[in-house]
Amino acid sequence: MMNLLLDIVQDKASPPSLVHLAFKFLYLITKVRGYKVFLRLFPHEVANVQPVLDMFTNQNPKDHETWETRYMLLLWLSVTCLIPFDFSRLDGNLIAQPGPVQVSIMDRILQIAESYLVVSDKARDAAAVLVSKFITRPDVKEKKMANFLDWTLRTLAHSSFQTIDGTITMDGVLQALAQIFKHGKREDCLPYASTILDCLNNCRLSESNQTLLRKLGVKLVQRLGLTFLKPKVAKWRYQRGCRSLAANLKPSTQGRNKPTPSTGTPDGDEDYDVPEEVENVIEQLLAGLKDKNTVVRWSAAKGIGRIAGRLPKDLADDVVGSVLDCFSFQETDNAWHGGCLALAELGRRGLLLPARLTDAVAVIQRALTYDEKRGACSVGANVRDAACYVCWAFARAYEPMELRPFVAEISSALLIATVFDRDVNCRRAASAAFQENVGRQGTFPHGIDILTTADYFAVGNRSNCFLVISVFIAGFPEYTQPMIDHLVTAKINHWDRVIRELSAKALRNLAWCAPEYCAAQVFPKLLSLTQSPDLHTRHGAILACGEVTCALHRLAAQGGRSVTDYLDEKALEGLKQIHQQLYDHQLYRGLGGELMRQAVCVLIENLSLSKTPFKGDAVIDGWQWLINDTLRNLHLVSSHSRQRVKEAAVSALAALCGEYYLKEPGEADPAVVDALIQQYLAELQSPEEMTRCGFALALGALPSFFLKGRLQQVLAGLRAVTHISPKDVSFAEARRDSLRAIARICQTVGVSAGGVPDKVLCEANVPQIYSTLLDCMSDYTTDSRGDIGAWVREAAMTSLMELTLLLGRSQPELIGASVCERVLCYVAQQASEKIDRVRAHAGNVLLTLLHFDSPPLPHVPHREELEQIFPRSDMATMNWNSPSQVFPRITQFLGLPAFRYHVLLGLAVSAGGLTESTVKYSMQSLCDYMKSIRKDPQAMACLSGTLLQIFEDNLLNDRVSVPLLKTLDQMLANGCFDVFTVEEDHPFAVKLLVLCKEEMKKSKDVQKLRSSIAVFCGLAQFQGDVRKKVLLQLFLLLCHPFPTIRNTTASHVYEMVLTFGEEVVGAEALEEVIAVLGNTVWDAELPLVREQRNRLCDLFQVPRPQLVSKPSPH
């Protein structure tokens, strides 16, 4: 490919555009493969020098369209500079040649390089490569190197990084200098190094905002430093002798090679004099480690490693000490990150001697947990990631015997980062570093076992790390205590709420591995932290106290003991005091109040489940007050925390009532229970929606002994909340939560066919509950949030499913035939409607009820047909969110009389909706079904009658009528009712016309009017008087007060005339009708429009509409 492109380039007959295109393709190849590999493939014979130079004569450096050509030419020229002949031999006798003075090839190349070093495109990078190859040639360096370096210094001195031009110029010059000092010989560059370093210091690049300039500055500084130092390999460096994984994994270490000194080139005395400039270089590189940009820090770290490798041992150790100074809490995260990179580089090169490992491991342990909050986010993820890289580098650099004293610290720190780090990239980096240590060192305890569980993919899920993998790792005694200590000291006070909650749950799981340690050491620390002035610490500590207590209770319960066997009186007293201390310090108020309420509610739930001996204690009243106050003031809680706080309070109430209000088995104090229920029922009438939500769910969470004898009263209160009244029409969330509460109560009290309606579900109260739930299936309330009634319908479907399955398991005779049919019909309607989420939920409910077999539900209408449409085998694979899968099956319900009305109602809403995919597949499925029954007059009559019945039942209900009109328009346009058009004045057309007239009567809804116009035009295909009536309606709309309606009507009538032609208007009048409709300006003044309308009436032989004068007011 490359040869073909170069042939085009070298062909003098190729037009410039083709040459540029060839170079463009060549550039793409270099972009993919890298220019260093690509350079070797360019032809670089002596004969190529002159042609390449000649190509530059046609190039314009300011042409931004052809920069790829110049870039490739510069690269090509750079490789031709490697020819082993003196350039002067290619010039011939320039002086003897007649004509103008000729420029030597050497000068031409230098002029090209200098001119392209200051351009603004990528050719600047190639020019720097050219300079490095050209200036370092033996024949060029003697004649041109000094002058070129003078030019670069003058250019740098006169350029400023505060201007765009100055930045571009400095970038090119710095690249060129860096390349020269990389590829040039030391003895050639050393005389100029000190001068260039001084010039670089004067440029003050560290103050520039340009990352690239700072990076190039650091790169040039390190190469100057390498130039000052002799190119020797330090004999004192540590070098690991064996790097074989197989040898590392052998049980015996006898066969392993000992660390051996490097066999570098002997350089005489180790303590040779180090130039003073090196100190300046190292100082700048150490400053570069603290740069704000990663690429600069990484370049500085590599420079530190390279230079330290040429220093005497003592001086190199001073450099290591300076790097370790970066790990101070006075330093920024940038310094920590740069320090980690430098340590890794030093360790990788054997320049961090084993004597320094103690200090290095200590700082790396701190870096692995470095995390600082800055405003709404945190910094430190890059530091932790770099610290993992250091551990990875150490595993490859040192013999196992050197790292053996630090195995416990490194392995624990890496595993803690693997499972408890917040960021997935850090967890994966820690896992990779642990894996490298297990493979290279072979000394990490239980390494292989842990790696099989905590691999790259497993640690990708944070919850899985905290709650599952951590338990497995903590099962090894070496890691149990460090993991628990880390959670207590670093994670329960984390700035991220999710991390605090996961840490508390992780502590509960890990408490099983070390219960005595948690009870004796961890629990007192947690109790003291609950009084911390820091909100995050306090929140995490309270959560952890509850979780650890719950874990200790479960552990004790396995041995038939109480939680008091682990927690002494002081610990229990501390738990009791948490609420009172927060209340006394008013910490339930303000911004942190939400977190404190949620945390204490979780604590109450866990202490109640742990059966702590607080029955009859005053703290129970305090807890009850907190729960009630939280539920009452939910509207004051921020919206993003409200659901979490509400759920915590309801769960706490359920656990509290079940544990501390039970006096005897199955009995509670009637006075307390009555007071509580009356209070909660009263709160259901609150003017605040969130208060209703909270107390409705609270009633649903009450245990069965609370509801005994009060079931009807509670159900009546919840039923009242589900009713829609003008003042609370938008309280959809309250209605949703009331339905959830009713379903939960039904599960709590159980079923008994002959039972008392005030204690259990029975024949007397089941119909009433079904009625409440089914009524809520018609909740289509909308507000600024959209269809909020969908929340209610989803909750109603869930409650209907749970109630029906509950009855089906124990008392199926309580499910009446009519009730079962209504439930399935309403669910099928939701399964055919337009909201994907609701449709998916309804579909799952429908399939669950249909295929329930413990035992099968009674009275399911058309069970066999339904099981054919939805076989049991399709339950797992059916995607209810996909309209293309759902609607072809749902439309088959139209052949089942019991489901026809409700499913057709749902399909009409979907087909007339706005979502393209839903409209497309619902309409397509409906039309396909209509065409399949076209030859069955009875089926057509039933379906059309049902359609008209739906229209009649929902007249002036815009939620149904507007999409229904759109659906009818599409059905008429697709010929679904063609079989009716052969009969004059078919009842379907007559009735539809009457309903459309009634729907649009006095309407000002433009969308509805447009849909009605489309339906009228579709009805024009029917024969008889109905056509005249339809045309009359259309002509009335041609003079509608709204100009947009007049235009729409004229457009539709025009299309109708073109479609039906002589069927609706005589052949002699057809052309004139089309002319009038097409040429009239229908949004003009009404008197002008009316004349044209009347003319159309005459042409269609329809009576002209008469103006009706309004009676004058008396």
pLDDT digits (tens, 9 = 90+) for 438-455: 999 888 999 999 999 999
Helices marked H in 586-669 — which ranges? Answer: 593-609, 618-632, 639-660
How far apart CA 777 and CA 762 sit, in angstroms, is 23
Reading the block at residue 819, the tokens are: 């009730």
Residue 616 confidence (pLDDT) above 90: no
Whether 73 contacts 80, CB under 8 Å:
no
Residue 115 confidence (pLDDT) above 50: yes
- β-partners of residue 787 are 782
Mean pLDDT, residues 878-905: 93
How far apart CA 130 and CA 115 sit, in angstroms, is 12
624's torsion region: left (phi>0), alpha (psi -120 to 50) or beta? alpha
pLDDT in tens, 222-270: 999 999 998 888 888 887 755 555 655 565 444 444 444 444 444 444 5
Q: In 3-state terms, what secondary structure has residue 372?
A: strand
Please give the pLDDT value at position 900: 95
- β-partners of residue 379 are 372
**646: nearest Cα among 703, 698, 571, 590:** 698
Question: Which amino acid belongs to residue 307?
Answer: I
Whether 529 contacts 538, CB under 8 Å:
yes
Whether 831 contacts 842, CB under 8 Å:
yes
Reading the block at residue 1104, the tokens are: 């002209």
The residue to which tokens 């209610």 are assigned: 792
Please give the pLDDT value at position 96: 47
Our separate counts of H helices and E strands in the chain read: 56, 6
pLDDT in tens, 120-141: 888 999 999 999 998 988 888 8
How far apart CA 678 and CA 657 sit, in angstroms, is 15
Q: How many residues does the chain have?
A: 1114
Please give the pLDDT value at position 36: 85
Reading the block at residue 666, the tokens are: 């199955």
CA distances from 93 to 88, 90, 96, 101, 122 (A): 9, 9, 6, 11, 36
Q: Regarding predicted confidence, which is higher, 254 or 640?
A: 640
Cα 669 to chain centroid, rounded: 50
Please give the pLDDT value at position 754: 84
Q: Phi then psi for 695, rounded to 5 degrees? A: -75, -25
Residue 717 confidence (pLDDT) above 80: yes
Q: Which of 757-761, 821-825, 972-976 has the highest mean pLDDT?
A: 821-825
- E-strand spans in 325-386? 372-374, 377-379
Reading the block at residue 869, the tokens are: 């449409």
> What b/e readout covers 260-278, taking b as 16+ CB neighbours within 10 angstroms?
eeeeeeeeeeeeeebeebb
pTM attached to this predicted model = 0.84
Reading the block at residue 865, the tokens are: 């047909």
Mean pLDDT, residues 1019-1036: 90
**602: nearest Cα among 533, 660, 549:** 549
Q: In 3-state terms, what secondary structure has residue 861?
A: coil
The DSSP line for 365-385 is HHHTT--EEETTEEE-HHHHH
Reading the block at residue 30, the tokens are: 């270099």
How far apart CA 717 and CA 677 sit, in angstroms, is 10
Q: Which of 101-110, 157-166, 634-643, 1086-1095 shows the lowest mean pLDDT across its residues?
A: 101-110
Please give the pLDDT value at position 255: 41
How far apart CA 441 and CA 397 sit, in angstroms, is 10
Q: Which of 82-86, 281-285, 725-729, 744-748 shows the lowest mean pLDDT across its residues?
A: 82-86
How far apart CA 124 and CA 624 sit, in angstroms, is 74
How far apart CA 183 and CA 189 sit, in angstroms, is 10
CA distances from 576 to 563, 569, 601, 619, 649 (A): 15, 11, 13, 6, 18
Please give the pLDDT value at position 342: 96
Q: Phi then psi for 860, rounded to 5 degrees? A: -75, 115
- β-partners of residue 374 are 377
DSSP code for 853:
B
Whether 787 contacts 835, CB under 8 Å:
yes
